[in-house]
Amino acid sequence: MEKKIAVVIPNWNGMPFVLDCLAALKKQSQPHDVVMVDNGSVDDSLVQIRKHYPEVHIIEFDHNTGFTGGVNAGLQYALENKYEYAALLNNDATPEKNWLKYLVETMESDEVFGVVTCKLLHTDGKYFDSTGDFYTNRGIAFPRGRNIKDTGQYNKQEFVFSATGGASLYRCSMLQNIGLFDDYFFAYYEDVDLSFRAQLAGWRVVYQPKSVCYHATSSTSSRISWFGRYHSVKNIPVLYIKNMPALLFWKYLPLFLYQLCRQFAASIIKKQGVIHLKALWALTKHLPRAFQDRRFIQKTKKLTYKDVDTLLVHSKPPTIPISRS
């Protein structure tokens, strides 16, 4: 019997990318249902989706609930309708024909696998966007291989710390166990937070290179210049506070605070100091909730602090190359 699989796509003014995304899904070798969550789009995307893909189930908001709000609505629909797996796919991503098939096959190979992520390439098909994420002992996450040419160096299935929320498969029973994405994040690092919680609860996150998808990077967030800076500044500390086990929390706190100072200096240099301060204010108001979440996560975790330490990268984050010439 075929597994019941939903592909959840968040959409916010996604023309023309979203039609290419849906066209690629139409060609998938793995049967699935598509759930589109629209975050109050004012362009023509919903009209075109209904015209060309009437089979797509659409959930509509009248305002932008962010990546987390959008995908959580789709994931909640999947849970309520007894789907076994739910994939997330950005509206500006185009998967290869067997993208979903390889994700599902990998997930089915071991019941401890809670998340499976793919080889996510830039639209040129030559350079990586992500092959899963690292997380450092300085509290900073970064995508493996970002903007580096694909020469086969990430061609084996392996465990990774985190899966990109833009093109990954999630086990619904795991989501029932650990919860959905944290709505506070809105966008940026919410996928790392969920993967961290999954690891702490005893699930594994797996990278499957045979599953390939192409991504028009930051086609949505790049339209708002302050967006990435604001949400990164307010989210990075919450990710650390919620999830880092106590002994590691205090051990690596000096490195983490140093990294936050570097982040503030970068904001000043980029003339985004005001945005940085606004993000810190939003963070301050959220801290009581973050520590409340931490108490529950740490109380129910299954990994020891030594287990978690082996998952971390013990070096500073790399400088991500920009040029792809």
pLDDT confidence tier of residue 143, bands split at 50, 70 and 90: very high
Q: Report the alpha-carbon distance of residue 133 to residue 28 in Å, rounded.
A: 25
Question: Does the reported pTM lie above 0.85?
Answer: yes
Strand (E) positions, the chain?
5-11, 33-39, 57-61, 85-89, 93-95, 113-122, 128-130, 133-135, 141-143, 158-159, 167-171, 204-215
Lowest mean pLDDT among 71-85, 105-119, 209-223, 226-240: 209-223
pLDDT digits (tens, 9 = 90+) for 11-42: 999 998 999 999 999 999 999 999 999 999 99
DSSP state of 209: E
Q: How distant, in Å, are the alpha carbons of 90, 96, 207, 318 from that of 120?
A: 11, 10, 10, 19
Give the residue-averaged pLDDT of 90-103: 98
pLDDT confidence tier of residue 3, bands split at 50, 70 and 90: confident
Question: What structural domains and CATH numbers belong to the chain?
Answer: 5-223 (3.90.550.60), 229-311 (no CATH)
pLDDT confidence tier of residue 1, bands split at 50, 70 and 90: low
Quote the pLDDT of residue 223: 52
pLDDT confidence tier of residue 318, bands split at 50, 70 and 90: confident
Give the residue-averaged pLDDT of 308-312: 97
Q: What is the mean pLDDT of the chain?
A: 94
Quote the pLDDT of residue 2: 72
Quote the pLDDT of residue 221: 47
DSSP state of 12: S
